[in-house]
Amino acid sequence: MKIAFCLFKYSPYSGLSLDFLRILEECQKRGHDPYVFVSEWRGERPEGVELRF
């Protein structure tokens, strides 16, 4: 299943962003195809995830 995630800004030190990343990774493990819509991404980009700015 394709799933769209929307987040204004991703920062690896924000609690919201860390929860966002955990949910994203769990969806990947379950075989879903995540797409991320974000205005800014700081830090490492997750593998297998398409980021759209």
Residue written as token pair 């991404």: 41
Is 48's pLDDT higher than 90?
no
Phi, psi of 47, deg, nearest 5? -75, 145
- Per-residue confidence band for 31, with pLDDT thresholds at 50, 70 and 90: very high
CA distances to 1, 42, 43, 49 from 18, rounded to whole Å, are 22, 12, 12, 15
pLDDT at 17: 95
Spell out the domain ranges in the chain: 2-52
Number of Cβ atoms within 10 Å of the Cβ of 23:
13
Return the beta strands (E) in 1-53 as ranges: 2-10, 33-41, 50-52
pTM of the model: 0.83
Which 8-state DSSP code applies to residue 49?
-
